[in-house]
Structure 1
Amino acid sequence: MIRVLICDDQWIVCEGLEAILSAESDIDVVGLAQDGVEALAKIPQVNPDVVLMDLKMPVMNGVQATRKIKSLYPAVKVRILTTYGDDEWVFDAVRNGAAGYLLKGTPRAQLVAAVKGTAAGESFVDPKVAGRLLTHFAVQGAPEADSTLLDTLTEREREVLTLLAQGKSNAEIAKDLYLSPGTVRNYISAILTKLDVTDRTQAALLALRHGLG
Structure 2
Amino acid sequence: MTASSPEPQRLVLVDDHEMVLHGLGAMLGHFPDEVSIAGQVTTAAEALAVVVEQKPDVVLCDVRIGKESGLDLCRQITTEHPDTKVVLLTVYDDEHYLYQALRVGASGYILKRIDGQELVGHLRRVREGETVVDPALAGRVALSAARLHAGEFWSGAHLGLTQRESEVLELLVAGHSNRAVASKLVVSEDTVKSHVRGLYRKLGVADRSGAIAVALREGLFR
> Taking structure 1 as the reference length, what is the TM-score of the superposition?
0.61
Structure 1 counterpart of 2:137, one-letter code: V
2:38 counterpart residue number = 30
Matches within 5 A, 1:32-181: 32-136=40-144, 138=148, 139=153
Q: How many residues align?
A: 142
1:208 counterpart residue number = none
2:16 to 9, 19, 22: 9
1:36/1:59 contact within 8 Å kept: no
2:87/2:107 contact within 8 Å kept: yes
| TM-superposed deviation, 1:76 | 0.7
> Taking structure 2 as the reference length, what is the TM-score of the superposition?
0.59
Write the distance in 1 (CA, Å) between the matches of 2:122 and 2:101. 16
Return the index of the structure with the highest Cα Rg: 2
Q: Which has the higher contact order (CA 8 A, sep 6+)?
A: 1
Offset from partner CA, 1:66-89 (integer Å, 9 cap, x none): 100110001111111111112221
Offset from partner CA, 1:94-114 (integer Å, 9 cap, x none): 111111111111122101111
2:28/2:116 contact within 8 Å kept: no
| RMSD between aligned residues | 1.9
1:35/1:61 contact within 8 Å kept: no
Offset from partner CA, 1:139-163 (integer Å, 9 cap, x none): 4697xxxxxxxxxxxxxxxxxxxxx
1:19 to 7, 26, 36: 26
| TM-superposed deviation, 1:92 | 0.6
**What's the secondary structure of 2:68's corresponding residue?**
coil
Write the distance in 1 (CA, Å) between the matches of 2:55 and 2:124. 16
Flag the 1:64–1:97 CA change in 2: closer, same or farther, 3 A: same
Q: Which consecutive residues of structure 2, in runs of 5 or more, have no partner in the other structure? A: 1-7, 159-222
